[in-house]
Homo-oligomer: A and B are copies of this chain.
Amino acid sequence: MNKKQEKELNGVKEIARRANVSIATVDRVLNNRPGVSVKTKELIDSIIQELNYQPNIFARRLSSKKILEFAVLIPKVSTETEYWLAPLKGIDQAEAEIQPYGITLKQYLFDQNDKASFKRQANQILASEVNGVLLAPMFLEESSLFTSECGKRKIPYVFINSDIPDQKSLCYIGPDLYHSGYMGAHLMHYLVKAKDDILVVNTSKEIDNHHHLLRKEEGFRAYFKDNRKSNPVHKVDIRDTNYTAVKKALNKAMSDHTIRALFVTNSRVSSVARYLVETNQTDKIVIGFDFLQENIDYLKKDVIDFLICQKPQEQGYRGIMALYNHLVHGAAIDPIYFMPIDIISKENYAFYRN
């Protein structure tokens, strides 16, 4: 209690005092910079432990000019893939939030229907100085190549929207596809009668994306099986995304059976709805995916009954924040974050937050 000169120092100063070194040396240890003898380093490390020292991020940020760059590798927005507007919005939001902390983002957008463009953008990223990557691994092989290179360079990467399991990503943030299909089936079973025929509609140009749809279909069928429902479940795979192709395929499928209800495994449900309107079959029950304006319009008109949605905006936001929390705060990140399975109808869509 005498002059307090023994205590009362904070942070690096206190560590320096205890270790009998200068704060510059403490800083070197703290930031894993070279040029410290093993002995000194060990001493300082032990003091850091003992003090349970947490750096003051305000002071750090104030004095440092260092900036981190994150790369964003997702599909570009087009009329056909309006969906990606939402993750992008979440990404922008995260960017605004962490920019004051010295983070910059750079977008590398690719064409969802063109593997080559994905590869090109991925290489651009590797050619630049980047500290973290957020990506939608749409193309399995190309994505794996890219991320294993990131791994070698110790660049953390986060998957959103779809996962590549056995990959050492920092984390995956997105839907549990199987269970969202299962949920769709549960809703469906309320709307159909015992023997009503159901049609599952998978629409996708790219074979890689198709896997996701099949996973949802699997969950959908599992529900009917698990609950011993006798509804026949038919399916149609549409390998082109333009409306003419959709129309043709549906014409065929709808004439093969007396379909009562349709389960569309992705956001293309608006094409199906359009078809039903044009062919005067709006009495059919329709469940599909994603909170897109077109889909909502059909929801309002009672053509679509329910949409299942998985907060794409939040996926983008959380993806960036995961990188940030990991890199800046050294936080532990959950390897998997499944998004909630949200049910949207005419009554609650106005309250939905992506």
Contact = CB atoms under 8 A, between A and B. Distances in A.
Nearest to A337: B353
A341 interface: yes
A61 interface: yes
Nearest to A54: B100
Interface in A24-77: 56-59, 61-62
Interface string A328-341: 00000000001111
A348 to B, nearest CB: 4
Nearest to A183: B347
Given A56-B62, A58-B100, A62-B62, A348 B341 contact: yes
A179 interface: yes
Given A338-B351, A340-B352, A340-B353, A186 B345 contact: yes
Given A183-B348, A186-B346, 20 more contacts: A57-B58, A58-B100, A59-B62, A176-B351, A179-B350, A179-B351, A183-B345, A183-B347, A186-B345, A186-B347, A190-B191, A339-B351, A340-B342, A340-B348, A340-B351, A340-B353, A341-B348, A342-B342, A342-B343, A343-B343
A100 B182 contact: no
A223 interface: yes
23 contacts: A56-B62, A58-B62, A58-B100, A62-B62, A176-B351, A179-B348, A179-B350, A182-B347, A183-B347, A183-B348, A185-B347, A186-B346, A186-B347, A187-B345, A190-B190, A338-B351, A339-B351, A340-B342, A340-B353, A341-B347, A341-B351, A342-B348, A343-B343
Contacts of A190: 190-191
Interface string A283-297: 000000000000000
Nearest to A56: B62
A342 B345 CA distance: 10
A195 to B, nearest CB: 17
A61 B101 CA distance: 14
Contact of A347 (B61, B223, B353): B223
Nearest 8 Cβ contacts at the A-B interface: A341-B348, A183-B347, A343-B343, A58-B58, A58-B62, A186-B347, A58-B61, A340-B351
